[in-house]
Structure 1
Amino acid sequence: MIIEKIVDGYFGVNTYVLGDLKTRKCAIIDPGASMIDILSVVKDKGLKVEYIILTHGHGDHIGSVKKIKAETNAKVIAHSDEKEILLDKRKNLSASMHCGPQEFEADIYVNDKDKMSLGDLRLSFIHTPGHTKGCMCIRVGNHMFTGDTLFAGSIGRTDLYSGDYKQIEKSLKRISKFEDNVAIYPGHGPNSTMGIEKLTNPYM
């Protein structure tokens, strides 16, 4: 498995390139970073982009989606409850961001517990509303991409459109049941593990 992180200089968003070593197929998770930087990593690793996967639809996480899709013809995946935000530049906040207004449909809408293959990798989607109503985490093996649901030592804000603190509390309680050795790859900030977050994150 290949996991590479690219950090956006404006909002500190973590974009991840997730690749399968055998087939060289990859997915780009939350492409808020520069398309040039992201595709440079893809090229350097000899990968082919199959999917663009969104943990949620805020502008800082989706700014390069349309550009990368135009270059690679990758299919965009999001949770079904995030459709409203993806289609509205005001609700996804992109209208006031450096990326400019972003409005688009995902090619594939998934729901809680749905699964898909990326080469020989098996991905599971976990609906974790709270930061937005369509937030989701993506688990592959002992690795989990948590978007803005769970950070190292903190959580995503819940005061934006469709955010709900009670919902994120439920989502955190749910994912806290996963094994301590599950590596956490958040939407902002450093990586962590589920075990560390259970011990040190006050929100867990």
Structure 2
Amino acid sequence: MQTPLNPQAFFDTVTGTVTYVVADRGTGQAAIIDPVLGYDFKSGRTSTELADHVLAYVEQQGLHVGWILETHAHADHLSAAHYLKARTGGKIAIGEHIRAVQSTFKKIFNLEPLFVPDGSQFDHLFKDGETFALGDLEMSALHVPGHTPADMAYLAGDAVFVGDTLFMPDVGTARADFPGGDARQLYRSIHKLLQLPAQTRIFVCHDYPPGERVPQWESTVGEQRKANIHVRDGISEDAFAAMRAARDATLGMPTLILPSIQVNIRAGGLPPPEGNGVSYLKIPVNALEVA
């Protein structure tokens, strides 16, 4: 099995998000997965601080970024994909079911007529099981819906980047009550991933460490099957769906869901500037509800 360089992780303490750089050993070809654009909700100002750390690492290692991969349209942080594409030339890619997410949120935000929910804002839309090259390393895109309809995981050698399907074993799994989410789909998607070999390394997109534990983002299929508090071996689909419904009913909306979604369905681009040259994000009133 081809093995990528050990992924370099960049942890955003504000949103609990992990951005990864994964590269082919021989060619220096690299992909950036789930990049974060800083955003201050109070002032409406963006920051490229974390993305610039990623760029500095890429330059230091002599890597060439061919892909900027999104696991889904995140609800808890803005994507820096657009910013990184401008500086690296990498292609922004996401799963083909992003079209369904775009259609849903175009209606919620009443977006401009020129915004077409066809996925064209991204450079490439992956189909389930599609393979693509990272230098001499073959990667696979896996459709893992449930958290949203469009979630993807990316398999590279013995490593799989799972987005929000799974968290660390002591945290469990992502919520499934966003528009288009489905707990039973999420359970099946997780078990699709857990059929990979037990030693496969799992890299999660977020960590919300309980107690005094420091942030972590790497586990294995075997560890998840043994210890994940929500989907370890022996937990049925019915039990998981009931747990998720009860748990999700207690969760508040992510702080950045309104600004982040309308940026992330544009591949990290801001809405078109208005007549004064300023881009505006919308805050719909009484329009967004969990399932």
Task: Please indicate the TM-score interval, normalised by the length of the shorter structure.
Answer: 0.7 to 0.9
Instruction: Kindly provide the CA deviation profile for residues 50-77 of structure 1, in whole angstroms up to 9, marking residues without a partner as x.
Output: 1101111115455211111111121111
Partner letter of residue 13 of structure 1?
T
Alpha-carbon distance change, 159 to 17 in structure 1, aligned in 2, over 3 angstroms: same
Distance 1:4-1:59 versus aligned 2 partners, 3 A rule: same
Aligned identity (percent) is 31
**SS at 1:138's partner residue?**
strand
The structure where strand makes up a greater share of residues is: 1
Any conservation in 2 of the 1:58–1:92 contact (CA below 8 Å)?
no
- For the Cα contact (< 8 Å) 1:87–1:105, is it kept in 2? no
Displacement of 1:114 = 0.4
**After superposition, what is the alpha-carbon deviation per residue over 1:101-121, rounded to whole angstroms, capped at 9, x for unaligned?**
xx9711110111100011011
User: What CA deviation, in whole Å up to 9, does each residue of 1:27-69 have, x standing for no partner?
Assistant: 1001125221111111121111111011111154552111111
Equivalent position of 1:25 in the other structure: 29
CA distance in 2, matches of 1:111, 1:51: 16
What root-mean-square deviation, in Å, do the aligned CA atoms of Structure 1 and Structure 2 show?
2.3
- Aligned residues between the structures: 195
| Unmatched runs of 5 consecutive residues or more in structure 1 | 94-102
Q: Decide whether the 8 Å contact of 1:111 with 1:125 is kept in 2.
A: yes
Q: 1:86 to 1:50 in 2, by over 3 A?
A: farther
In structure 2, do the counterparts of structure 1 residues 15 and 90 end up closer, same or farther at CA, with 3 Å as the change threshold?
farther
Give the Å deviation of 1:163. Answer: 1.4
- The higher-RCO structure (CA 8 Å, 6+ apart) is 2
When normalised by structure 1's length, the TM-score is: 0.88
Partner Cα distance (1:200, 1:20) in 2: 31
SS of aligned partner of 1:155: coil
Structure 2: any 5+ residue segments left out of the alignment? 38-49, 110-118, 208-216, 233-291
Q: TM-score, normalised by structure 2?
A: 0.62
Alignment-derived partner of residue 161 in structure 2: 145
Aligned with 2:97: secondary structure?
Answer: helix
Higher Rg: 2
In the other structure, the counterpart of 1:106 is 122
Cα offset, 1:151, TM superposition: 1.1
